[in-house]
Structure 1
Amino acid sequence: MSAVLLRRSESITLAYYQPAAARVVLMLLVLCGDCFASDRSVSLESVQTCDGLASAPWDPDAPDRSRAVEFRDLRAVPAAMACRAAIAEAPQLRRLHFQLGRAYDRQGANQDAYQAYRRASDLGSGAAKVNIGILFRQGRRFEKNDAKARSWFREAAEAGIPEGMFCYATAFDNAIGGAPDIAAAKLWYGKAAERGTTKARDALVRLELNGVVTGARCD
C-alpha cells in the first residue's frame, strides 16, 4: 500500500462521516494504492538509458531533446538492448516502443521496427506514424506502398506532428501515393514551417519558385 494513502482504518472512519462523493474518492485511493506503488517502482535508470540512446529530436514525447539522437548517429545494438529492458519495466510508455523501433530501423530489421512502431502508434505516438510511413515509402526489406505511406503521413500530420506535416507535404509535392497537389503541399509545408521545421521552410521556398516536384525527401 502506498505510504501517501490513508491507513485503511482511518479511511473507513472518515468515509462514515463524509458525503458520498468523498467516500468514493477514499475507496478509490484504498483500492488503487498498489497501482501508485507499482508506478514508483519503475526503474528510471532503464528508461533514461533508452531515452539517451534512441530518442528522436523531433519526437514531441522526447523528455530532453537536447540529448536526443539523430538517426544516422543512433547506435542500434545498445539502443535496442536498453529499450527492450525499459519496455519490460514500463510497457505503457509509448515513446519507449517508438525508440525501440528506431533502433531496429537503424539495424535494417524493418519488420521488427514496424511491430515496435505499431505498438507505439496504438499507444498514441504520432512520431511512430511518421516512421511507419517512411517504412512503406522506402520499401527496404519491407513492403513498398506509396499509398499507405501517404495515409500514415496524413495521420501523423493531423495528429499535430511537425515532421508528419512535412512528410505529408512531400507526398503532395512529389506525387507519392497519389496525384501532385501544389496547394496542399504549400499548406502542409507552411504548417510544418510555422512549428519550426527548417527543411519545410526550404521546401516551401523551392515550391514557390519551381512548382511541384521539388524533390524534398522524408526519411
Structure 2
Amino acid sequence: MNPGVRRLSFQLGRAYDRQGTNQDAYHAYKRAADLGSAAAKVNIGILYQQGRRFERSDAKARLWFRDAAEMGLAEGMYCYATALDNGIGGRPDGAAARGWYIKAAQLGTLKARDALVRLDIDGPGTGARCD
C-alpha cells in the first residue's frame, strides 16, 4: 500500500465531493478505499445513502459503513451503528447498534454517546444520522 497515493486519492475525492461531482468523488474514494482508507469507505457509504447525483442504495451504504467499522475507524463504527439502529439498508438491530455505538463512544465519538442514550431511552430508531 502506498499511503501517499491513498491520501491523495482521498483528498481528491473530498474535492470532487465538495463540487458535487459525486461520480468522480466515488472513483477517487474507491481508489483510496482499495488502498486501505477506512475514511474513504465511510464517504462512499454517505454517497450511497444520500444519493445526490449518485446511485441511492441504503444496502450498499450499510456495507461500506460496516467495512469501515470493522477496520476500527470510530466514524465508521458510528455510521454502521446508525444504519443498524435505524434500519438503513436492512433490518434494525438495536443490540448490534448498541455495541457499535459503545465502541465508537469509547474512541471519543460524542455523537455516539448521545445516540446511545437515545437508544437506551427510546429503543431502536433514534434517528441518529451519519453525514
TM tier, smaller: over 0.9
Taking a change above 3 Å as real, the CA distance of residues 127 and 91 of structure 1, as seen in their structure-2 partners, is closer
Structure 1 partner of 2:55:
143
1:93 shift after superposition: 2.7
Post-superposition, which runs of at least 4 consecutive aligned residues in structure 1 deviate over 4 A?
none
* Structural mapping, 1:36-75, within 5 Å: none
> In the alignment, which of 114, 127, 142 is matched to residue 39 of structure 2?
127
> In the alignment, which of 163, 176, 179 is matched to residue 75 of structure 2?
163
Structure 2 partner of 1:93:
5
CA distance in 2, matches of 1:199, 1:183: 18
Q: CA RMSD in A?
A: 1.3
CA distance in 1, matches of 2:111, 2:11: 23
Structure 1 partner of 2:89:
177
CA distance in 2, matches of 1:139, 1:181: 23
Taking a change above 3 Å as real, the CA distance of residues 91 and 183 of structure 1, as seen in their structure-2 partners, is closer
CA distance in 2, matches of 1:91, 1:208: 40
* One-letter code aligned to 2:112: A
Structure 1 partner of 2:117:
205
Give aligned pairs, total.
Answer: 130
CA distance in 1, matches of 2:4, 2:105: 32
Structure 2 partner of 1:10:
none
Runs (5+) with no aligned partner, structure 2: none
Q: What SS does structure 2 have at the residue aligned with 1:93?
A: helix
Structure 2 partner of 1:215:
127
Q: Which has the higher contact order (CA 8 A, sep 6+)?
A: 2
Counting aligned pairs with the same residue, the percent is 74
1:100 shift after superposition: 1.1
Cα deviation code 1:181-218 (max 9, x no counterpart) = 00001000000000000100110011101111111000
Taking a change above 3 Å as real, the CA distance of residues 91 and 202 of structure 1, as seen in their structure-2 partners, is closer
TM-score (norm 1): 0.58
Structure 1 partner of 2:22:
110
* One-letter code aligned to 2:105: A
CA distance in 2, matches of 1:194, 1:91: 26
1:154 maps onto 2:57 in alignment: no
* Structural mapping, 1:6-45, within 5 Å: none
CA distance in 2, matches of 1:172, 1:191: 14
* One-letter code aligned to 1:143: E
1:102 shift after superposition: 0.9
1:99 shift after superposition: 1.2
